[in-house]
Amino acid sequence: MDINVEYLISNNDITLTSVYCDYPDTCLPTKFNAPSGPKGKRALTEEIDTHLYDEAAHMIAFRIPHSKLAPWIKSLSLLYYEHYGKSSDYVVSWFDDPENWSTKNSGNKSICVEISTKADVDSLLYKITLFVNTGLVQVQGNHKDTFVDKDFPVLVKLVNIIYMATNTDESGPCKINTTQSGSATDLSEQTNIKQISTLIDRNNNKDLASHKDRTVSKDKSDLQSDISDLQTKLNNKISKIEEMASAYNSVSENLKHKEDEVLSLKLHLSQDNTNDFQEVKLKHPKTRNTKHVVLIGTSNIKGIDPNKLSSKYSAEKHEAFTLEQTDHVIQELEVTPDILVLHSLSNAVRSTPNEKSIEYLHTIIDSAKEKFNDTKIVISLPTPRADEESLNNKAQILSLMAKEDLRNEPNVEICDNSNMAFKGSALQKYLDPKDNYHLSLNGTKMLASNIRDTIDRILGLPPRTPMKRNVNQYNYTPPRVQRDNTNDFVPDDDSHQYMYNRGRGQRYRGGRGNNHQFRGNRGYHRRGY
């Protein structure tokens, strides 16, 4: 469906009256703020860099000058309402975020346009978001290339024509010309607009041809570079296969080392203390202004009950198995969380190079910051695994890269899950023995505890302390041992049936020990001698 710019100009009102009626001047910024994300700051003005975002993000962005804010809003209205909106093949949705604007609203205001087909599946072509406070325009969707090749040149033409025709208008916002000479003036303006349009078309055609040449040259160079990279990766894979064949002969030697590690792990596990935590009571009653937490992650968060995470804040969770799904869930969120927890790196270890995962993680963080200005973001690092040693090593390297790369990132905190490993190897008690990758019940508790500790630290909540128990009726005091920092965020059916003698590692029903373990002079109590 071809777009006739001259037809849109000559058959529609191109004054800015309707813009200022819908968006009063008092609600528009007097100047633009700088975009908060690094990619937004690097975006070009009224020109698109198709390599700004990773291809998997399906996103492009550009910036507009402050003087052309109203012409851009008017051009979007002409193209998507007067052209696409009148077609039976498309559905156009226009909405503001937030819905009601006012001078008191200091948050980031945005105008959103969604264009879809009438198909039942994958109907959304792309979504356009104009951030009014920064002048940043983002386009995201599987068909964003259609916008780049087809819609963007038309919008630039419309903006230039409207800007040149209205930048000398002194009638003011939402004022209509009612003089007797109005008809003659309109005819004169129509003639001038057509002349201006012809000149602009010539210049734009030259610019587009030059831009196309630059794009083709850059794409050619990029393809040659990609071919070279693929050849290098292929050679590396061949070398790795040869190394794996050689490493197969050393398996028996590695098993001996594993036996030594098992002995070390048994010693470590024998010192575990599985007592519950006791909440520290606040001296002052909590307010009703409850903070809200959104948890997004892989299947390892499936066993976490958000309602049991803490009584100090509300929480909800969403499952997303890849970084792409995580980005999609964030864009679909309708509430603004105080804290956004992302446990999304574990699955990326198997399918994506670490460098690409870090780059895409930055894209997700930038996108979340654009949508939620004041939200704190928690990046939960990959949990240890024992299905493949190479994947566990890759996960540890990815954790180190994320720590270093996000160390000075504003409003971003790291949730470290390395306490589920010993000397780099995953502790078996925290893993599901079926696949040695998904978490067991204890692993889910530990992950929930790590996430909660990070959230509590961000909110400035007091730390949790272990709850003391009377171990047995003989006043036996066990020696101090190291305990796991877990809490009952998931059901535990056996927790009410048994207690543990922590000093001797014995299990007693109902908290009563066997008398023969405490034989001796009944005139005193044994205290660990």
pLDDT tens figures, 393-428: 999 999 999 999 999 999 999 999 999 999 889 999
Q: Could you give the dihedral angle defined by the CA atoms of residues 489, 298, 440 and 425, in that order, rounded to the nearest 10 degrees?
A: -120
Domain 289-459 has CATH 3.40.50.1110: yes
Residue the block writes with tokens 């128990």: 469
Domain boundaries, the chain: 5-173, 253-279+469-529, 289-459
Whether 277 has a pLDDT exceeding 70, the answer reads no
Whether 70 has a pLDDT exceeding 70, the answer reads yes
Whether 105 has a pLDDT exceeding 90, the answer reads no
Largest CA distance in the chain: 118
Q: Which of 204-213, 229-238, 245-254, 277-286 has the lowest mean pLDDT?
A: 277-286
Q: Where are the beta strands (DSSP E) in 351-454?
A: 376-380, 412-415, 421-422, 425-426
pLDDT tens figures, 233-242: 999 999 889 8
**DSSP state letter for 413:** E
Strands laid side by side in the 136-140 sheet: 59-63, 136-140, 124-131, 110-117, 90-97
pTM greater than 0.75 (yes/no): no
For residue 304, what are its two tokens? 């976490």
- Whether the CB-CB separation of 437 and 478 falls below 8 Å is answered with no
The per-residue pLDDT for 526 is 41
Share of the chain above pLDDT 90, in %: 49
508 phi, psi to nearest 5 deg: -130, 140
SS3 178: coil
The per-residue pLDDT for 363 is 95
